[in-house]
Amino acid sequence: MDAIDALSRARREGRRVALVTVLAVEGDAPSHPGAKLLADATGPIAGTLGCSEFDTAGLDLARQALDGRRTVRRRLDFPGHGQQRAIELFAEVAEPEPGITVVGANPVGWAIADVAVAAGRRVRLLTGGDDADAPAGVDVVAGDPTEALRARALSATDAVVVSDHDAPWVDDVLRLALRSDVTFVGMLGSRRHAPEAVARLRDQGVDEAQLARLHSPCGLDIGSRAPGEIALSIVAEIVAVERGRDGGPMTIDWSAR
């Protein structure tokens, strides 16, 4: 697999990676402009810059980009081998595709997964029970949702929605999600159930800043009733939060014009 194919796959899998590209080559260097190396925080994934020496330098730039600089451009000299050699490298971070993790396989949970796929999101559905058939575009994970959340790191491009406020794992899942870097944490429930969940979390030591991140009841107020309508309102709220919008109507009042 080449670096570009590996980049697309990593983003679909929710992985944060850095792509290092050779911009220029000077001297008799075993590389060429356009050579690419893909890496994450643990090391190389695919591609090469031409030799182990250049790959080591590229991995160092990738780590710098992943550590917060996001883009790094540098010319590197490699003396020896009878003449001066140099390459110019550019490293840039590729964030994962936006993802939604739905916790709970009830009718609303499945509907959220369907709507999220239609919106172009990568989707995981944690069933909290036995295996279930996975619709196209949905990664279904059976078993303990808390362990499933721990097994794969959540990123700032992710959203987590708990679709079953009565399940025994709800508090554990919410604590994990609220202390992660995800953009959105939501839980279905009425205006009676939501305060009960918040009170439990507060008693368990979850701090106020984390509790303030919880969207519950979640979804935009569109009068939704059926599972598909509820799912539509929730996915719409997730997008609105990501884009810094309030989710209100865009229509113009033509009667005043």
The tokens of 99 are what?
Answer: 């993802």
Percent of all residues in the chain with a pLDDT value above 90, rounded to a whole number: 74
Cα gap 256→233, rounded to integer Å:
29
Pick the CATH number of 99-243 from 3.40.50.300, 3.20.20.70, 3.40.50.1240, 3.40.50.720: 3.40.50.720
Measure the CA–CA gap between 239 and 97, rounded to whole angstroms. Answer: 13
Domain spans, the chain? 3-94, 99-243
pLDDT at 21: 97
pLDDT, tens digit (0-9, with 9 covering 90-100), for 179-216: 999 999 999 988 888 999 999 999 999 999 999 999 99
| pLDDT the model gives residue 116 | 96
pLDDT digit string, tens, across residues 45-80 = 999 999 999 999 999 999 999 998 789 999 999 876
- Going by DSSP bridges, is the β-strand pair 138-141/122-126 parallel, antiparallel, or unpaired? parallel
Look at residue 133 and give its three-state secondary structure: coil
Residue 223 has pLDDT above 80, yes or no: yes
DSSP helix, strand, coil percent of the chain (3-state; round to 5): 35, 25, 40
Token readout for 35 is: 């050579």
Residues sharing a CB contact under 8 Å with residue 215, sequence separation 6 or more, in sequence order: 184, 185, 186, 187, 237, 241
Q: Is a pLDDT exceeding 80 seen at residue 152?
A: yes
Q: How far apart are CA 15 and CA 228, in angstroms?
A: 29
Q: Tell me phi and psi for residue 174, to 5 degrees.
A: -65, -40
Strand partners, 256: none
How far is the C-alpha of 90 from the C-alpha of 19, rounded, in Å? Answer: 8
pTM for the model stands at 0.81
Residue 82's pLDDT is 66
The pLDDT value recorded for residue 190 is: 84
Inter-residue long-range contacts of 166-169, CB under 8 Å, 24+ positions, other chains counted: 167/104, 167/128, 169/103, 169/128, 169/144, 169/145
Tokens 């303990």 -> residue: 144
Dump pLDDT digits (tens) for 6-58.
Answer: 999 999 888 899 999 999 999 888 899 999 999 999 999 999 999 999 999 99
pLDDT value at residue 132? 67
pLDDT one-digit tens code per residue, 90-148:
999 998 889 999 999 999 999 999 999 999 999 999 997 766 677 888 999 999 999 99
Q: Given this model, what pLDDT does residue 166 score?
A: 87
pLDDT of res. 73: 95
Q: Which residues contact 168 (CB under 8 A, 6 or more apart)?
A: none
Instruction: Enumerate the H helices of the chain as residue ranges.
Output: 3-12, 52-64, 107-118, 145-151, 170-178, 193-203, 208-211, 227-243
Planar angle of CA 217, 110, 8, nearest 5 degrees: 105
